[in-house]
Amino acid sequence: MSEREGKAEGTTHFGYQQVPVDEKAQRVAQVFHSVADRYDVMNDLMSFGVHRLWKRYAINLAAVRKGERVLDLAGGTGDLAERFSRLVGPEGEVVLADINASMLEHGRERLIDAGVVGNLHFAQVNAEALPFSDNHFDLITIAFGLRNVTDKDAALRSMYRVLRPGGRLLVLEFSKPVLPGLGKVYDAYSFTALPLMGRMVTGDADSYRYLAESIRMHPDQQTLQEMMAAAGFERVNYYNLTGGIVAVHRGYKF
């Protein structure tokens, strides 16, 4: 098996459920179709606005320079892509990519309204089989999206292929709390408050119950570091944020 998540032959996890491998992408798509219009509002509510600080940290860690080519995978509503577009300048290129058409369209409309045009492109792609040429991008980011990918190992290999030598990958994702006692508080919040907020704001508690479950099924910091190394990335390191609730992993292609 390619992933280290204990799945049965021919199945994978969708939250805590075991589903056929070929059904997971469709189920994840339905989750994001359901919440796309209220996605940014819910992010602010769920994290008390702290998600903006997590993303700012990742952007600073990315150290984007003018003229670089950036691929923002699972880019959703485009908050990272918007910042990268300004950093790379007119001589650079940013591709906002997402597997979900609803999220991608929402991001496209928001960025066009914000006047972000010219060096920004949009692509509906599957991270497991990226439709880009080898050695093309200087930076790839995937923020809060890797846990939804069916075959994470295949996706990491695909990202490695399209990075140029010297390029880097940043994965910003929910992870495993490392502060004593934080895990119990976080679990209580995730499985009680998140579905309640989801029902009140979007009319959809199930999608936010899936969110809580998908976080628990995602590899921990050390395991993801090992997965990135197995895909070919070097100098892989991670940085815990908010006591390990979120972590940023960074690896290079040499």
CB 85 within 8 Å of CB 116: yes
Mean pLDDT calculated for residue range 130-151: 96
Extended strands (E) in the chain: 11-14, 17-20, 69-73, 93-98, 120-124, 137-143, 163-174, 234-241, 246-252
Whole-number Å distance between alpha carbons of 239 and 224: 12
127-140 exposure pattern, b = at least 16 Cβ within 10 A, e = fewer: bbebebeeebbbbb
pLDDT > 90: what percent of the chain? Answer: 62
Mean pLDDT of 175-196: 91
Q: Is 100 in contact with 126 (CB distance < 8 Å)? A: no
Q: How high is the pLDDT of residue 9? A: 61
105 has a pLDDT exceeding 60: yes
126 is in an annotated binding site: yes
Please write down the long-range contacts of 18-23, taking CB distance under 8 Å and 24 or more positions apart. Answer: 21/150
For the segment 79-106, the average pLDDT, to the nearest whole number, is 94
- Average of per-residue pLDDT across 146-167: 96
How high is the pLDDT of residue 36? 62
Task: Using pLDDT thresholds of 50, 70 and 90, give the confidence band for residue 126.
Answer: very high
- Choice between 25 and 239, residue whose per-residue pLDDT is larger: 239
The CATH class of the 11-180+207-252 domain is: alpha beta
Tokens of 87: 């950093």
pLDDT higher for 240 or 17? 240
Q: What is the pLDDT, as a whole number, of residue 203? A: 79
The pLDDT value recorded for residue 15 is 76
Cα 20 from Cα 153, distance rounded (Å) = 18
Q: Is 11 annotated as a binding residue?
A: no
> Binding site annotation covers 77?
yes
Provide the whole-model pTM.
0.87
DSSP letters, 152-198, are HHHHHHHHHHHEEEEEEEEEEEE----STTHHHHHHHIIIIIHHHHH
Single out the residue of 144, 82, 154 nearest to residue 115, CA to CA: 82
Question: What element of type H or E holds 84?
Answer: helix 79-88
Please tell me the distance from the alpha carbon of residue 80 to that of residue 49, in angstroms, as a whole number.
15
Q: Compute the average pLDDT of residues 62-80.
A: 95
Q: What is the pLDDT of residues 159-174, one digit of tens each?
A: 999 999 999 999 999 9
Per-residue pLDDT, 37: 65
Q: Is 141 annotated as a binding residue?
A: no
Q: Which residue has better confidence, 68 or 101?
A: 68
Flag whether pLDDT at 1 surpasses 50. Answer: no
145-161 average pLDDT score = 96
Rounded Cα gap, residues 135 and 185, in angstroms: 43
